[in-house]
Structure 1
Amino acid sequence: MDISGNTIFIPGSTSGIGLALALELQARGNTVILGGRRADVLAKIAADHPGIDTVEIDTADPVSIASGARQVLERHPDLNVLVAMAGIMRVEDWHHPAGFLDSAESIITTNVLGPIRLIAAFVEHLRSRPDATIMTVSSGLAFAPLAATPSYNASKAAIHMLSESIRLQLADTGVKVVELVPPAVRTGLLPGQENSEFAMPLDDFVAEVVALIEAQPDAKEIQVERVKFLRHGEARGDYDQVVAMLNTADPHGK
């Protein structure tokens, strides 16, 4: 993925990593369209940041995804990058179904079915573009589990393997598949995470991500230095120690 000259749709980007990344990509010379559920929040973002377009979309709702995709492509037929950013994370207790079932279903709908439906809505268009990218968003927790968030961990592991698989299938097209692998970042993904000393400052994370995209335009995974402890534990042979340290030191994981 080139760092500039793209038209990029980022659903689920009205706060946190999504919004910060969108603004930095706009500053690097890209046309950026943000997607979110709340019209008032989208209107404020558009007013505060001239040049940013916005589209109402709920990535947990297949009808909303189809409608949002139509709007994006009608207004931006040169779209060449989809960033499937939206995601939710919840603490669960799997000792009894009341502690996890509703949460698990919501997480899988948003974090797994959401990206799948988004890709389905855009893949044919992206195949028609000469230089297109699908960016998925997994997590360091796809590779080392935080005990408190089983469904989130599983959803991000699914996104990792989905990314690996569709990259192989789309190798005969002009569509690149890039997986962004965040560590814990200071956002509101979990209560208190925005102030967690264990989480990476948001501005630092986005700056490193953009620098990596610029330096490695053909990268398959975007891994900031801080996530490599989780990402490569099994390959290093210290997976058990990584899991133990994660669950002892970091109550907010990501």
Structure 2
Amino acid sequence: MKLTDNTILITGGTSGIGRALAQAFHALGNKVIVAGRRKALLDEIAAQHPGIDGIELDIADAGDIARVAKTLIARYPALNVLVNNAGIMPFDNPAGAIDDATSRRILETNLLGPIRLTSALIEHLKAQPRATIIHNTSILAYVPIASNAVYSASKAALHSYALSQRFMLRDTRVTVQEIAPPWVDTDLIKKSGDPRAMPLDAFIAETMKGLATDAPEVLVEAVRPLRDNPGAHEHALVHGFNQSLVDQPIPV
């Protein structure tokens, strides 16, 4: 994508990867709008970075998405980049009973939210001289982590959706890119500072370089071996990956 002269909406833009992307795009002179549920955080980022706008949005609420989409189109007619970044990552245990309400919340946020918001904005994006949709999935879309089975499945589904969407938009002016982060040092799982996590600033720097290309998938080099999931041998890969986390668990 072209990294300048855009009007960009970033969901989940008040913390973590979303906030860092907002700041990186803003520093390049783009008009950036961050969406999130917490007004206090929206106000904070707008105050710290004059020129970044905030808009309240519950990405898990279909009615709220429809309302906000109409507001965005009216308020920002040049909106041409959508970054579907919002996500939640509760722990679960597929070897036991999984709370249905939690599973629904994950799927409403991580999968249906991006689908609904993209659907609400797609005709507007198609009318722009150039537009980009960026889906933030996860390396766990390819190598699931067993302790977050529903989250991993939601990201695998979003990856599949991005593949289909990219094909269906092939004859339009809208391109689709996907970023698939590794474990990045944010508060997504309410834990930060683990030395195994990739520093956020390093992730953003490498990701911005990738987004500046036409690559459909933007991956940091550290996760390419996991992305190259070895077909029929993936069972051993996934087992080994999860065993390594059992042997050295993530502190909670």
Amino acid at match of 1:52: I
Alpha-carbon separation, structure 1, partners of 2:74 and 2:130: 19
Residue number in structure 2 paired with 1:121: 120
Shift of residue 144, structure 1, vs aligned partner: 0.7
Mean Cα deviation higher: 222-231 or 199-208: 222-231
Say if 1:111 and 1:155, in contact at 8 Å, map to a contact too: yes
Residue number in structure 2 paired with 1:22: 22
1:248 to 225, 243, 246: 243
Residue number in structure 1 paired with 2:94: 94
Alpha-carbon separation, structure 1, partners of 2:183 and 2:237: 14
Query: SS at the partner of 1:55?
Result: strand
Structure 1: 5+ residue stretches without partners = none
Amino acid at match of 2:19: L
Amino acid at match of 2:204: V
Query: SS at the partner of 2:169?
Result: helix
Shift of residue 240, structure 1, vs aligned partner: 4.2
Shift of residue 238, structure 1, vs aligned partner: 5.8
Say if 2:166 and 2:176, in contact at 8 Å, map to a contact too: yes
In percent, how many aligned pairs have the same letter?
Answer: 45
Say if 1:186 and 1:202, in contact at 8 Å, map to a contact too: yes
Residue number in structure 2 paired with 1:203: 201
* Superposition TM-score, scaled by structure 2 size: 0.93
| 1:53-96 deviation line (CA, Å, top 9, x unaligned) | 11110100111111211222222100100001100111102344
* Matched positions, count: 247
Residue number in structure 2 paired with 1:220: 216
Alpha-carbon separation, structure 1, partners of 2:32 and 2:165: 24
| 1:141-199 deviation line (CA, Å, top 9, x unaligned) | 1101111011011000001110000111111211101111111101111132x222221
Alpha-carbon separation, structure 2, partners of 1:191 and 1:37: 17
Residue number in structure 1 paired with 2:76: 76
Alpha-carbon separation, structure 1, partners of 2:20 and 2:240: 29
Alpha-carbon separation, structure 1, partners of 2:225 and 2:107: 25
* Superposition TM-score, scaled by structure 1 size: 0.92
Residue number in structure 1 paired with 2:56: 56
Query: SS at the partner of 2:54?
Result: strand
Structure 2: 5+ residue stretches without partners = none
Say if 2:94 and 2:146, in contact at 8 Å, map to a contact too: no
- 4+ residue runs of structure 1 moved beyond 4 angstroms? none
Alignment of structure 1 residues 126-165 onto 2, 5 Å: 126-165=125-164
Tell me the C-alpha RMSD between the 2 structures. 1.5
Say if 1:55 and 1:71, in contact at 8 Å, map to a contact too: no
Whether 1:13 aligns to 2:13 is: yes
| 1:196-229 deviation line (CA, Å, top 9, x unaligned) | 2221111100011011222x1x110111112212
Alignment of structure 1 residues 101-112 onto 2, 5 Å: 101-112=100-111
